């Protein structure tokens, strides 16, 4: 009986230990390994229109910030004011990728807070986000006109990130 009780605690702890060790050994988890790499090619449907855009169109911009967001994401609301501020710069465009959200909720979010995106895409099944290495939202990826990753921002863009982006795109 004591062995069964001990095993019922030991096995879940062992599973957790293996999980956390595997996270530390996964070199792709680090955002530093992404910098300098090109983003993977993708095509995405528009959130509000029956149009598509692709990553190849991003090369017409000097800099593009790909922002993954959702209406149900509280931290996305926190970063939104910084995205609106970035929109005013002529040196960067923001591609919004709405993650696993209802279209009406996403459009209401943009209507309420403003639309910083030159294109809003819908990633209803999360495939594009996973393809681009997104683990959660909000996340943003800053790329140059060659589609190379300059920086990845995990979590909401804040004032420090905003100033860093402005410094990069000067």
| Model pLDDT, residue 122 | 95
Closest CA to 53 of 112, 149, 61: 61
| Model pLDDT, residue 23 | 41
For residue 169, which phi and psi values (nearest 5 degrees)? -85, 0
Which residues in the chain come in under a pLDDT of 50?
13-14, 16-30
Write out the H or E segment, with its range, that includes residue 134.
none
Strand 149-154 to 119-123 pairing: unpaired
Closest CA to 97 of 145, 62, 58: 58
pLDDT tens-digit series, residues 11-60: 554 454 444 444 443 334 445 567 889 998 888 999 987 778 777 788 77
Instruction: Report yes or no: 67 and 140 within 8 Å, Cβ to Cβ.
Output: yes
pTM attached to this predicted model? 0.79
126 in helix, strand or coil? Answer: coil
> Is the four-CA dihedral 89, 53, 42, 155 of positive or negative sign?
positive
| Model pLDDT, residue 20 | 43
Q: What is the CA radius of gyration of the chain?
A: 19
| Model pLDDT, residue 36 | 84
């Amino acid at each position: 009986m004591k062995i069964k009780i001990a095993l019922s605690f030991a096995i879940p702890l062992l599973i957790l230990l293996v999980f956390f060790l595997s996270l530390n050994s996964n070199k792709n988890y680090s955002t530093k390994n992404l910098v300098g790499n090109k983003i993977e090619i993708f095509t995405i449907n528009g959130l509000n229109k029956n149009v598509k855009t692709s990553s190849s169109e991003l090369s017409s911009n000097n800099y593009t910030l790909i922002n993954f967001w959702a209406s149900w994401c509280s931290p996305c609301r926190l970063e939104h004011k910084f995205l609106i501020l970035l929109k005013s710069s002529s040196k960067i465009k923001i591609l919004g990728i709405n993650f696993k959200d209802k279209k009406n909720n996403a459009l209401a979010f943009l209507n309420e807070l403003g639309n910083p995106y030159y294109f809003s895409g819908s990633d209803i099944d999360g495939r594009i986000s996973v393809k681009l290495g997104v683990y959660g939202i909000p996340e943003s990826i800053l790329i140059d006109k060659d589609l190379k990753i300059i920086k990845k921002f995990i979590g909401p863009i804040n004032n420090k990130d905003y100033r860093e982006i402005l410094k990069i795109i000067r």
